Amino acid sequence: MPTSLLFGINNEGRVHTLSTSGSFWRELTYVGQEFKKLSAIPHFLWALGGDHQVYVYVHGLDIPIKVREESFENERWIPIEGFSSRLLPTDRYQFSSADGTVDRQIDKIRLPSMAWQWEGDWHLELTLDGQPLDHNGWTYAIDFGAQYSSKKQWKSCVRRRLWVRSRKYVAMNSWCAIAPLHKDATAEPFIDISIGGQNIAGAEPGSMLVWAVTSHNRVNRYLSLLELKVMFRSGVTTKSPEGAKWLCVTIPGGCEVGQISVGPTGLVWAALLDGRALIRVGVTRESLMGDIWVETRGPADNMRTMQISVGICAVWAVTQDKKVWFRKGIRTDGAEISEEMAVGCGWVDMVGNMSSISVTGNDQVFAIGGEDRAIYFRTGVHNGDLTGKKWKCLHAPLQVSRASSNASLNRDKLNNSTRSTTSLNRPHSLCDTSGIGDIGDQSHSAPTSLPIGELGGKHFETPLKNPRAWSPVRSVGSIVGTEVHPESDESLWSDRQDSCIFAEDEELGWGEYEAPWSWVAAGACTIELNQLPNWFVEQGAMTQTELDQPWRLQILEELRSRLQSQSYKNIPLAVDTTSWVHVGEGRINLNGSVYVDCVLQLEWVHTNGTLTILNSDGATTMVGAPSKNSIWAVSSLGDIFVWDSKQLINILENELYVQEIDLTRKLLPIKIPLHTNCVPGTVLLLSGYIQDDIDRFAINLNVYPTFKVKPKNFSELENCALHFNPRFEENVVVRNSMIDGKWGEEERYGENPFTAGKEFVLQIEITPDDYVIYVNDNKFCHYRHRLPSSSCCMVDVWGKITLSKLKIQTPSIILNPKEMLWRQMGGHLRRIESCAVGVTWGIGFDHTCWVYNGGWGGTYAGTLNSSNINPMADTQDYRVYENQRWNPVTGYTSAGLPTDRYMWSDITGKQKRTKDQAKLLSVHWQWISDWLVDFHVPGGADKEGWQYAVDFPSSYHANKHFTDYVRRRRWFRRCAVATMGPWTELGHTKLLDVSLIPLTDDEDSPIIVWALATGGQAMIRSDVSAANPSGAKWEHVNSDKPLSSISCGPFNNVWATAANGSAYVRLGIKLDLLQGHKWMSIEPPPGNPLKEISVNEIGVWAVSRKGNLYVRKDISSGWPEGSCWQSIHMDPLIISTAQNTTGFKHVSVGAKEVWTTTDGGVILRREGLSKENPTGSGWNWTITVSEIQYVCTVQMKQNLELL
Amino acid sequence: MANDREVLREIWEGKLPICFTLNPDEVSEIQQPDPFYLMVPRLSYFPLVTDKVKKYFSKFISNEKEDQEMWLEYDGQPLKWHFPIGVLFDLFMVSQDELPWNVTVHFEKFPAQQIFRFNNKEAMESFFMACLKEADVLKHRGVVINGMQKKDHNQLWLGLQNVKVRTHGVVPALNTPLQWMSEHLSYPDNFLHLCVV
């Protein structure tokens, strides 16, 4: 569970927050404004100030809110004049939006409010789909609305260019005032505010709903009329936290709304002064405001409802007599909220005496006690029983604020002293419950609750004396206080409790000071029943008086005096509950081939035992956490696998990997795969016996063949780096190479050193320049390289000889991918990334970021787990496509042509998929939604979610053209998995991609972490190291374009791909400026927009959307962007043998290794990589399709060499 | 919920030293076996902790009796081992000074009329669960306690106060609240076993 926040207002109007991972209330920095009411959803708070104005507080976002303003400058070609800004009357505006319908005169584009600031000036966009434009940025077309291109042609009649300017919301982590409704803020004060609607089915991500109630004092000549109005704030989204403007929503006659609440799914309930309630129905993604009001009875007749709070499937209310009510029959988690489900079917009287109530986003309930003013949590609320069991009191000490001028007062309170006089200046009306709802009173006294003496009554007309104390009148959107910087106030939002930096608070102290609360807002808080926060003390706490009772002391004394005699201590225990450890030595066969020494350790703690298998040193575990040199993979089902390089059992001699292959009784000809890169320093030692009747034999070092792809088939051209061919009848040894199937020039000097009927030893040493060949320990010859030696992959021997063994000594790792043992690791992830010092991060399907915590095991392993296994949750969507074809009589129907795809299908149309057929993968999964139409599909969709096209399969668009004969729409149903794994959740910022690289080779080296947020914004994580794998916080790195993938190599080598398919390299990265200063755009390969990129010492590799793989050539420190993309093909052999494999899906580059996965689920290892041959020479399969069906991501740790 | 950890810890960790002796009449060997000493938890039950005892003494009895069920006797009475060990001890023993508790082991003439047969631990478990449910009904759902008014509670307790009671080897003061005793001094079967002495 990510941490979330509960908010409360104490009796002094100060806003406090309590984190689910913490146990202390912390005060939001006080800026001179008290608050009466608060409504919260994650990251956004809307509050009603003591001055009855509305304030917004945006907090806890790692990514700044930025909006890119765009304006297209349009010009038309006019004979003689050339291109001119004079357009035809039928044309669009000179400065317009992309579709030309909106006037976007640059000097008329203003900041929406003082909460925003421009970032830089207007500038021209100089690329089009990743392709650079000339310096004026013009794109040309035959007419407006047609396809624009970067080239001017004879038929180009119009041109346009794009001006862009970004603005940033700077009021983050501070209160931002919403402009009052009238110039005189007192004319129409607000009396209630509510935010919700973050989970409206099918709505644009990031939309929110804000409803408010105002009290308009309409004075005419005879009497003053009080009119209560309901307001809806239009345009509130995560990109526009303050929204656009207030819209008045008419309410039925005779209704006077006193309070309003909007739930996460957009359900709105309003409490009327006469006790009835209004429900807004018809809230959908298209009509966020809803259609009409429906009236229903209140909980109790003739009893005013003080407050209603709306959740997803629950509505709770508190009446004037402080009784609590639950509305049954509410259900709004479906696709559409029916009127019946929105209204529910009746009130249930609940126990408890509460003055205020608040429902969380998952229907948990918090309330404030009617008498004691403590905050209560309703226990036992779950989907089956939304009314819960009982009220449980929250006990969390309150932090005394630094900013609070009455800190000393609070300290006094801790000592149970009386209020000091300083507090008397503060308005205490908030304690007065009768005041909250007393509209008549409040509407007249709106501003008077501002601190007396600081501003005075007429502060609207006078300049502000104290900038900290503030009222919203002057401007449209003003910022109260200053932006809180994470450095200075990190502890408030940080996940880690120990990161508290309020050193001075130690002396102020935390107290068990039970503040009288006036308000609680739980909308931002997510409470899981099985993981309740540490906010509660056990009930029935012993009082000190009970502890001191003589009867208790006597019993305790007597109990303790039982069996004091030492004489029984030798009697054995009937039930042995002691703990012990037994250690024994053994041999274990872990990878199915060789038994190795190990130490078995059985540890018994009370009633549970743990068996640990240790390496023979007795210190490191053999099973357990993988070593830092491991390869991690996740399957498309989300299962995690790891291969530990410690499995390699190659004997290491003098820093070299050694493998001996026994060849006795092997028949010739024989081909022995090498599973290594024959880099300089490699020595091959072949020994055997030459038969008496020998005439010639040959030893070849073969290289991957060259494939010549022709249409429909391919030919294979052999390559041989070294052909060593002793010929006895000629008494000569022929050396040669074959390149692309053609033999080169022979080298034949020297006599044949071999003797028939004798044993022989042949040694081939590979140097940077040549092969040095020894026969029976005598140097025989040199042979210069004609092909890169690192690409040798096989030893091929034929002739009348018998072999005894082949010994390979090489500085490069020897790894037979088919013998790799992949071990499962608990958890559920979509991506995984690791680095050489062992820090591993994962990203779930729901984009949650997880950090590997060094444990092992998980749900799949039953009870065989390490201790640090955490619960994990993830979600996945099942998708089906509904296809329809148009026919002249009935329009679009599900009756297709016989040749058409299934009317319910997968995306390709080849597989039949129906909604009923969808089955959950395992018992750990459960549905969390119904089938819903997906409106957010690539290409857009119309109001009913349909996408139109000329025919299947084609490019789909949102609007129906007259040539469109087919349409489709996507349905999705979300399911969630609850599993366990050795992972720790990292904050709330959702990630698209992440990449890690240690700065140096040291164990404790800082680790550079680059990541992309789900919006495509780049970030770097500070303070990540092996000791602190989660790091401290995100720092945002500016990027013009949303990015889709990011990768960092050795520290100054950061590459990314943008959503438009082009690549970017980050320039200016230095040790003291790790975020660099500029992105440099790099064109993608022509016609192949890039999807993913991976960088390391060995090079920059990228996968395009079409599944092609590219390597960037000629990268050097002086020329970091390289020269061009070189395409790397998949062997036709792989395509023809591996099922469903048509292209590459993912690439992962290590320091010396490159691994990829294909769309058919095969993991491939690039072989033959070396400094001299950075693109390698061939592919080697690691996992055959039958073993793991869907491996979709492999991430390579660097430095596999250092075992 | 009880949360007086000091008291609870003492209760849950309470143990008794027991000296098991085989009934001399049943010994088939020439030499009498040595007594078998065992430290047993007060809150446990004899059938759960006497495996070692049975194994030890079965070597000294005639072979045909080996399969017969073992039972325990103290002071001429079979031990009603469906009660927790601590309760039995408090019933029979007057003071802690008589420790270890000398219990006689029998293999013949199982007194089926007086004690339950617990052939295996499952039988013991199901008996225990039955106790627990009974106590649960009485304590939480049943009308017995809830239906009683405060004065009835007091009366119940006052009735007990005329005599001395013992539980867990201690004699609680007469003004100990019943509720507190129920929360802290109950056995795992959820009954507060009080032995009148």
Mind giving me the DSSP string for A984-1049?
EE--S--EEEEEEEESSSSTT--EEEEEEETTS-EEEEEEE-SSSTT-S-EEEE--SSPEEEEEE-
pLDDT-derived band at A491 (thresholds 50, 70, 90) equals very low
Contact A552 B52 (CB under 8 A): no
Say whether both A691 and A797 belong to one domain.
yes
Per-residue pLDDT, A521: 92
pLDDT-derived band at A507 (thresholds 50, 70, 90) equals very low
Which is nearest to A196 in space by CA: A206, A185, A205, A208? A208
Chain A nearest C-alpha distance from B102 (Å): 14
Chain A nearest C-alpha distance from B121 (Å): 14
The HSE-up count of residue A760 (CA atoms within 13 Å, CB side) is 23
Say whether both A968 and A1036 belong to one domain.
no
Contact A574 B39 (CB under 8 A): yes
Given a cut of 90, whether residue A358 has pLDDT beyond it is yes
- Fill in the amino acid letter for A512: E
Q: Is residue A22 part of a domain?
A: yes
A896 neighbors A905 (Cβ within 8 angstroms): no
A947 neighbors A937 (Cβ within 8 angstroms): yes
pLDDT-derived band at A646 (thresholds 50, 70, 90) equals low
Q: Contacts of residue B16 in chain A, CB cutoff 8 Å?
A: 563
Per-residue pLDDT, A316: 93
Least confident among A32-41, A473-482, B47-56: A473-482
With 0.90 as the threshold, say if the pTM is over it. no
pLDDT-derived band at A259 (thresholds 50, 70, 90) equals very high
Contact A572 B38 (CB under 8 A): yes
Q: Contacts of residue A541 in chain B, CB cutoff 8 Å?
A: 3
ipTM greater than 0.90, yes or no?
A: no
Say whether both A2 and A57 belong to one domain.
yes
Q: For A126-139, how does the pLDDT look when each residue is reduced to its tens digit (9 = 90+)?
A: 877 767 787 788 88
Domain boundary among the residues A169, A204, A226 is at A169
Phi first, then psi: give them for residue A814, nearest 5 degrees: -105, 120
pLDDT-derived band at A772 (thresholds 50, 70, 90) equals very high
Q: Between residues A423 and A648, which one has the greater pLDDT?
A: A648
Among A538, A559, A571, the residue with its CB nearest the CB of B17 is A571
Task: Tell me which chain A residue has its CA closest to the CA of residue B37.
Answer: A571
Highest mean pLDDT range out of A270-284, A583-597, A1128-1142?
Answer: A270-284
As a whole number, mean pLDDT of residues A1086-1106 equals 87
Q: Is residue A538 part of a domain?
A: no
Which is nearest to A853 in space by CA: A873, A874, A871? A871
Say whether both A158 and A180 belong to one domain.
no
A573 close contact with B: CB closer than 8 A: yes
Choose from A564, A571, A606, A607 for mutation: most chain B CBs within 10 A. Answer: A571
B197 close contact with A: CB closer than 8 A: no
DSSP assignment of A547-577 equals: HT-HHHHHHHHHHHHTT--GGGTTSPBSS--
Among B1, B49, B170, the residue with its CB nearest the CB of A539 is B1
Q: Between residues A1088 and B142, which one has the greater pLDDT?
A: A1088
**Cα-to-chain-centroid distance, residue B190:** 13
Domain boundaries, position A50: 1-65+172-529
Q: How many domains is chain A partitioned into structurally?
A: 5
B79 close contact with A: CB closer than 8 A: no
Q: Contacts of residue A568 in chain B, CB cutoff 8 Å?
A: 17, 39, 99-100
Q: Between B5-12 and A550-561, two packed helices, what is the crossing angle to 10 degrees?
A: 30
Per-residue pLDDT, A1190: 36
Dig out the tokens for A178 from the structure: 């919403």
Burial class (CB in 10 A: 0-12, 13-18, 19+), A93: middle
Question: Residue holding tokens 């029943």?
Answer: A529
pLDDT-derived band at B149 (thresholds 50, 70, 90) equals low
Among B3, B11, B100, the residue with its CB nearest the CB of A568 is B100
Residues 7-26 of B with CB under 8 A from A: 7, 10-11, 14-17
B170 close contact with A: CB closer than 8 A: yes
pLDDT-derived band at A505 (thresholds 50, 70, 90) equals very low
Highest mean pLDDT range out of A316-330, A651-665, B57-71?
Answer: A316-330
- Fill in the amino acid letter for A910: K
Domain boundary among the residues A915, A941, A976 is at A976
Per-residue pLDDT, A233: 92
Say whether both A76 and A16 belong to one domain.
no
As a whole number, mean pLDDT of residues A783-787 equals 88
A321 close contact with B: CB closer than 8 A: no
Say whether both A250 and A183 belong to one domain.
yes
- Fill in the amino acid letter for A1100: V
A452 close contact with B: CB closer than 8 A: no
Mean pLDDT of chain A: 78
Contact A559 B169 (CB under 8 A): yes
Task: Tell me which chain B residue has its CA closest to the CA of residue A560.
Answer: B10
Domain boundary among the residues A134, A169, A204 is at A169
Choose from A389, A537, A538, A562 for mutation: most chain B CBs within 10 A. Answer: A562
The residue ranges of every structural domain in chain B are: 5-106, 121-196
Could you give the strand order of the β-sheet that contains A792-799, starting from the edge strand earlier in sequence?
A: A670-673, A792-799, A697-709, A714-727, A732-739, A742-743
Phi first, then psi: give them for residue B124, nearest 5 degrees: -60, -40
Least confident among A424-438, A657-671, A766-780: A424-438
The HSE-up count of residue A208 (CA atoms within 13 Å, CB side) is 27
DSSP 8-state code for residue A476: S
Which is nearest to A877 in space by CA: A918, A914, A911, A913? A918
Contact A559 B37 (CB under 8 A): no
As a whole number, mean pLDDT of residues A667-672 equals 85
Least confident among A248-257, A820-829, B77-86: A820-829
Residues 503-562 of A with CB under 8 A from B: 538-542, 546-547, 550-552, 554-556, 558-562
Given a cut of 60, whether residue A688 has pLDDT beyond it is yes
Say whether both A963 and A1000 belong to one domain.
no
Per-residue pLDDT, A1200: 32
Contact A546 B38 (CB under 8 A): no
Q: Contacts of residue A546 in chain B, CB cutoff 8 Å?
A: 4, 180
Contact B11 A560 (CB under 8 A): no
As a whole number, mean pLDDT of residues A775-793 equals 87
Chain A nearest C-alpha distance from B141 (Å): 16
Least confident among A316-330, A838-852, A1087-1101, B180-194: B180-194
Among A540, A554, A561, the residue with its CB nearest the CB of B1 is A540
Contact B10 A574 (CB under 8 A): no
B130 close contact with A: CB closer than 8 A: no
- Residues whose CB is less than 8 angstroms from the CB of residue A259 and which lie 6 or more positions away in sequence, other chains included: A192, A213, A270, A271, A305, A306, A307, A308, A437
Q: Is residue A982 part of a domain?
A: no
CB pairs under 8 A between A and B: 85
Q: Contacts of residue B48 in chain A, CB cutoff 8 Å?
A: 575
Given a cut of 90, whether residue A412 has pLDDT beyond it is no
Say whether both A755 and A896 belong to one domain.
no
Q: Contacts of residue B175 in chain A, CB cutoff 8 Å?
A: 551
Given a cut of 50, whether residue A446 has pLDDT beyond it is no
Say whether both A959 and A1107 belong to one domain.
no
Contact B170 A552 (CB under 8 A): no
Contact A551 B37 (CB under 8 A): no
Say whether both A420 and A523 belong to one domain.
yes
Per-residue pLDDT, A196: 92
Q: Between residues A896 and A513, which one has the greater pLDDT?
A: A896
Q: Is residue A836 part of a domain?
A: no
Per-residue pLDDT, A499: 31
Per-residue pLDDT, A622: 58
Choose from B36, B180, B192 for mutation: most chain A CBs within 10 A. Answer: B180
As a whole number, mean pLDDT of residues A293-321 equals 88
Chain B nearest C-alpha distance from A553 (Å): 9
Given a cut of 70, whether residue A444 has pLDDT beyond it is no
pLDDT-derived band at A577 (thresholds 50, 70, 90) equals low
Contact A555 B172 (CB under 8 A): yes
Q: Between residues A540 and B187, which one has the greater pLDDT?
A: B187
Question: Residue holding tokens 């003053």?
Answer: A224
Given a cut of 90, whether residue A466 has pLDDT beyond it is no
Per-residue pLDDT, A467: 37
Contact A552 B4 (CB under 8 A): yes
Dig out the tokens for A130 from the structure: 């990743």
Which is nearest to A271 in space by CA: A171, A194, A207? A194
Among B37, B40, B170, the residue with its CB nearest the CB of A558 is B170
Say whether both A142 and A218 belong to one domain.
no
Among B3, B52, B172, the residue with its CB nearest the CB of A540 is B3
Per-residue pLDDT, A513: 57
Given a cut of 90, whether residue A39 has pLDDT beyond it is yes
Given a cut of 60, whether residue A831 has pLDDT beyond it is yes
B182 close contact with A: CB closer than 8 A: no
Per-residue pLDDT, A650: 55
Say whether both A430 and A523 belong to one domain.
yes
Per-residue pLDDT, A211: 94
B178 close contact with A: CB closer than 8 A: no
A1187 close contact with B: CB closer than 8 A: no
Among B10, B44, B52, the residue with its CB nearest the CB of A556 is B10
As a whole number, mean pLDDT of residues A66-70 equals 89
A485 neighbors A174 (Cβ within 8 angstroms): no
B171 close contact with A: CB closer than 8 A: yes
The correct CATH number of B5-106 out of 3.30.70.3040, 3.20.190.10, 3.50.50.60, 3.10.20.620 is 3.10.20.620
Instruction: Say how far apart CA A71 and CA A736 lie, in whole Å.
Output: 66
Q: Is residue A859 part of a domain?
A: no
Dig out the tokens for A683 from the structure: 């020595």
A939 neighbors A958 (Cβ within 8 angstroms): yes
- Residues whose CB is less than 8 angstroms from the CB of residue A207 and which lie 6 or more positions away in sequence, other chains included: A197, A198, A200, A236, A237, A288
Q: Is residue A785 part of a domain?
A: yes
Which is nearest to A117 in space by CA: A64, A177, A174? A64
Q: Is residue A277 part of a domain?
A: yes
**% of chain A surpassing 90 pLDDT:** 11
Chain A nearest C-alpha distance from B1 (Å): 7
Q: Contacts of residue A575 in chain B, CB cutoff 8 Å?
A: 40-41, 44, 48-49
Q: Is residue A819 part of a domain?
A: no
As a whole number, mean pLDDT of residues A245-274 equals 89
